[in-house]
Structure 1
Amino acid sequence: MGSTIEPNRLNRRDLIKRATAIGIAAVPASGLLSACAASGGGSKQETGKKTATNPFGVADSAGLEVIIFKGGFGDDYAKRFEQLYSKQYPSAKVTHTPTQNITGLLQPRLNGGNPPDVVDDSGNAQIKLDVLQKAGQLTDLTPLLDAPSIDDPGKKVRDTLQPGTVELGTIGGTFCTLQYVYTVFGLWYSGKLFRQHGWSAPRTWADFMSLSAEIKKAGIAPFAHQGKYPYYINVAIMDLAIKNGGPDFMNRVDKLDDTVWDEAPAKNAIEAVYQIVSNNYLLPGTNGMTHIESQTAWNQYRAAFVPCGAWLENEQLKSTPSDFEMTFMPMPSLPGDKLPFEAIRGGANEPYIVPAKAKNAAGGMEFMRIMLSKAGAVAFAQTANSLTVVKDAIGPEVQLRPGTKSTVTALKAAGGNVFNPTYLYTASQLDVDMGNASSELMANRIQPAEWLKRVKTATQKAKKNGS
């Protein structure tokens, strides 16, 4: 994606964080609804004959217009997709438009009934998907799921996707957005730094604390975090709690059961993270840093660990030394964890849509089918340095950067132990309130008991407000 959580990246974490939650500039529903009623039928859609290899009936010469949010993932990957499309439809003119202002570019065209054919609806200026769906502005993409896979026509596209992809793309009971990027979350370190010092990646929290003491003795801060954007440390805290409490704990958090904050998993997780603070293991100044500032300090070997999602490598390309060996690992295990060390948070994000009144909606869905081929997944991994929702698309023969390669390894090791809480989408204010408490905790202005109290109150408020 490109970004999702903070100013510019904020957009991408859309995945989860904001998986609609943080900082999106939403278009008022009324504006689109009234436009929908006024714009009539729009341009006549161009279609061709449906065949086994052309399941949507794409017209050979119909142009295809693609608008891409140019954020942390850039837009070179989309150009690779477009090249694959042009190979299949050489007579079709493909138009590529990168932007960081999706709303400014897209809303007038939706209102006018002449939208583009494919849109990466991401970034701070994203148009909220539920607004588009309620306004009837999104094409039902169920035919895409039921179309044959390009790689194996004996399989439907839906059978080639990571678990949860269809659910996350379903709004109001209709699959109408393709959440394409598959992001995993955890801790990151430099393989070079660890090898030089003879350090091993810790599997338990006790080992993490012991290693942190060694790291500090070496004159390096054990831990940096993106202090201005506490979403990141929230993810670390909640991943510890979910691994400790298991799927039932996560489900209760998602259902806004406020009693979870009185129980051991929540207490164990927040007390563990507070050890970083109380032992003075934080990089000085990290509580006031942006994501780029803290991650760049980490790239400069001023800190050993930083929490982040899999977009980190692409985001830090310019700051990362060529021999840094960026490496991903799951959150270390707490005593009594119900999920194994290898368990990680992972899920789909970065929404792509085909507007309902697109002139070449069939071509838009075919473009997505190409995205969901192994060739498309490899092109994205090599160009945007992140994974996609296509299962088993990246083999050992595919050349990847070290960080991306380490996420592939971690995802395979996790197997079925991949989790993805949904409160971030359904009760985004809870995450904001939790982040405010986390900022106070990391600055040592409150202690774990107060954090638990504040988050319990925030959960009660979210439930009362109908989240």
Structure 2
Amino acid sequence: MASSTTRTTASTGPSRRKFLQRLAIGGMALGPGSAFLASCATGGGGDDDGDDGDDAPPADVSDDNPLGIAEDEPVEIYIFDGGFGDAYATDLHQPIFSERWPDVTINHNAAVDIGAELQARFAANEPPDFINNSGDGQMDTGQLISDGLLADLTPLLDAPSWDDPDVPVRDTLIPGTIELGSRNGTPYVLNYAFTVFGIWYNKTLMDENGWPVPTTWDEMLDVCADIADHGIAPWVYQGVTAPRYMNWPLLTMAAKLAGPDVLVPLDNLEEGAWGHDAIRESAHALWDLGQRGYYLPDVEGMDFRDAQGLWARGEAVFCPSGSWIENEEADAIGEDPTFELAVMPEPLLSADAVMPVETIRATAGEPYIVPAQANNPRAGMEYMRAMLSMDGARGFTEKVTSLTAVLGASDGVEIEAPGLSSAQEALSAAGENVVNWLYPTWYPTMENPGIDQATGALLRGAIDVDEWVDQCEAAAAEIRDDDSIEKYTR
């Protein structure tokens, strides 16, 4: 069978030139958020000169081959070798794919620094067909989109699902998943894992010492005082590597206090948004923890894994994170057979808070993309379709202790991991009281280094809340005033 696409030659249009210039002066922009959109699923990542790239049609489309992939052409994938590792790909998703497509060779690659591995491939117009764009070396997907380097995933979402030909892929996803991976109505990113955020702790340690799970900030301070009296640090955060983890409880508590609408102006880059009274009060609470000596000593200079490792070994009690932490710190947690991981929603800052204490931040995450100018992009999308099968999603949950964005995929799954079970319970208790914000995805450099550095300085006491607000406002203004950055609103 003929190939579904052919490799295009490198464009010399303005979009491509700007991309190459960025690489030359310091490498591709990298950032910590999710990824998003771009060009054409058949491989045409056109440029400003009007060249639409490769417009070759797919192979024959049929009920058995809804995306029209070439059955004899290899597919090259890159998996981020981080918190989830890459065994879920080699041991689960690839066998599911290969059972249906035995003649398609899968060229598997794993990388810790995705950007460093692939930026030259993008520049040479030879990207792989499928990328797990995650980790500290995550490529700035917004910039990739602006440069026309990502594929529109509409063919995937419109295709019949792997398990039921009468149900399109888009209808198998938890509401909000497609929107999170879209810009201006076009889907570019599959956010596969479903993450529950909160404050993580060792339930056994809390129970043994009679420390109640605090539901208000006053209760939190009382519990912290008792913990400190026992010679244990009440809190840890992810050190110099990722102080932004503390932005998550900060903004969640602000939303509980004033309502979810307090988050919208942050995403919309509105002047003065970071100075809202609720955000100030929440920032003050976390600043005050440092003033009271409730952070793990010297955490401000630690790598995030070192800081989390000390927490997992009992040197601190509370740790902000997403539900991936159970897998990420499995080895350290496993050293203590009594460690029962649990997550708590952030306490209420005031009794007159607008949202209930059960409110949590939860969102689809862990982004996967298909480059527009890949050699075999439809096979990359077919690989995504296999991931979104019930077996693929359930197996992922069992293997890496993370929920997925596939509706009903965890139903009937026996979850032995206490942290993931706790996350499920928290999500159920929250009901519709789930919040999220999008500026880290839309504007990665606004969060890192912008807000990230400001929060790090706040936590270590180098600046006060007013100065933190000023620095956050400056980070937002830098994006707002840069005409080269496409803006989004919600």
The residue number in structure 1 matching 2:353 is 337
Q: From 481, 485, 489, give the equivalent of 1:464.
A: 481
Taking the TM superposition and a 5 Å limit, the aligned residue runs for 1:260-409 are: 260-320=273-333, 321=335, 322-335=337-350, 336-409=352-425
Change (3 A) 1:40 1:329: same
Q: What's the TM-score, normalizing by structure 1? A: 0.84
Query: SS state of the match for residue 259, structure 2?
Result: helix
Change (3 A) 1:454 1:64: closer
Contact 2:179-2:185 within 8 A present in 1 as well: no
For 1:150 and 1:120, locate their aligned partners in 2 and report how far apart those are by CA, in whole Å: 20
The residue number in structure 2 matching 1:448 is 465
Give me the identity figure in percent.
Answer: 36
Change (3 A) 1:152 1:202: farther
For 1:120 and 1:269, locate their aligned partners in 2 and report how far apart those are by CA, in whole Å: 34
The residue number in structure 2 matching 1:225 is 237
For 1:39 and 1:257, locate their aligned partners in 2 and report how far apart those are by CA, in whole Å: 36
Please report how far the alpha carbon of residue 385 of structure 1 lies from its aligned counterpart in structure 2 after TM superposition: 2.5
Tell me whether 120-129 or 362-371 shows the greater mean CA deviation: 120-129
Change (3 A) 1:172 1:66: same
The residue number in structure 1 matching 2:34 is 19
Contact 1:184-1:345 within 8 A present in 2 as well: yes
Counterpart check, 1:161 vs 2:173: yes
Change (3 A) 1:142 1:38: closer
Change (3 A) 1:20 1:352: closer
Alignment deviations for residues 265-316 of structure 1 (CA, whole Å, 9 cap, x no partner): 1232122223312332222112222211211111121111011122212221
The residue number in structure 2 matching 1:10 is none
Alignment deviations for residues 88-129 of structure 1 (CA, whole Å, 9 cap, x no partner): 223333332222354465455556665433222334444433
Contact 2:35-2:133 within 8 A present in 1 as well: no
Q: From 256, 259, 272, give the equivalent of 2:272.
A: 259
The residue number in structure 1 matching 2:83 is 72
Contact 1:57-1:362 within 8 A present in 2 as well: yes
The residue number in structure 1 matching 2:67 is 56
Please report how far the alpha carbon of residue 172 of structure 1 lies from its aligned counterpart in structure 2 after TM superposition: 5.6
Counterpart check, 1:249 vs 2:262: yes
Change (3 A) 1:180 1:207: same
Q: What's the TM-score, normalizing by structure 2? A: 0.80
The number of equivalent residue pairs is: 441
Change (3 A) 1:415 1:103: same
Taking the TM superposition and a 5 Å limit, the aligned residue runs for 1:193-232 are: 193-228=205-240, 229-232=242-245
The residue number in structure 2 matching 1:174 is 186
For 1:136 and 1:328, locate their aligned partners in 2 and report how far apart those are by CA, in whole Å: 40
Query: SS state of the match for residue 98, structure 1?
Result: strand
The residue number in structure 1 matching 2:454 is 437
Change (3 A) 1:261 1:127: closer
The residue number in structure 2 matching 1:90 is 102
Contact 2:371-2:377 within 8 A present in 1 as well: yes
Tell me whether 193-202 or 119-128 shows the greater mean CA deviation: 119-128
Alignment deviations for residues 212-233 of structure 1 (CA, whole Å, 9 cap, x no partner): 1221222211111123122112
Change (3 A) 1:178 1:403: same
Change (3 A) 1:48 1:111: farther
For 1:389 and 1:153, locate their aligned partners in 2 and report how far apart those are by CA, in whole Å: 19
Tell me whether 407-416 or 131-140 shows the greater mean CA deviation: 131-140
Change (3 A) 1:96 1:400: farther
For 1:101 and 1:227, locate their aligned partners in 2 and report how far apart those are by CA, in whole Å: 20
Change (3 A) 1:338 1:186: same
Contact 1:133-1:172 within 8 A present in 2 as well: no
Give me the CA root mean square deviation.
3.1
Contact 1:36-1:111 within 8 A present in 2 as well: no
For 1:145 and 1:202, locate their aligned partners in 2 and report how far apart those are by CA, in whole Å: 42
In the alignment, structure 2 segments of 5+ residues that lack a partner are 1-29, 37-44
Alignment deviations for residues 104-156 of structure 1 (CA, whole Å, 9 cap, x no partner): 65455556665433222334444433444344443321121122233444432
For 1:464 and 1:116, locate their aligned partners in 2 and report how far apart those are by CA, in whole Å: 34
In the alignment, structure 1 segments of 5+ residues that lack a partner are 1-13, 22-31
Query: SS state of the match for residue 293, structure 1?
Result: helix
For 2:160 and 2:410, locate their aligned partners in 1 and report how far apart those are by CA, in whole Å: 20
The residue number in structure 2 matching 1:28 is none
Contact 1:140-1:174 within 8 A present in 2 as well: yes
For 2:374 and 2:35, locate their aligned partners in 1 and report how far apart those are by CA, in whole Å: 24
Query: SS state of the match for residue 210, structure 1?
Result: helix
For 2:456 and 2:122, locate their aligned partners in 1 and report how far apart those are by CA, in whole Å: 40
Please report how far the alpha carbon of residue 234 of structure 1 lies from its aligned counterpart in structure 2 after TM superposition: 2.0
Contact 2:140-2:444 within 8 A present in 1 as well: no
Tell me whether 166-175 or 188-197 shows the greater mean CA deviation: 166-175
The residue number in structure 2 matching 1:100 is 112
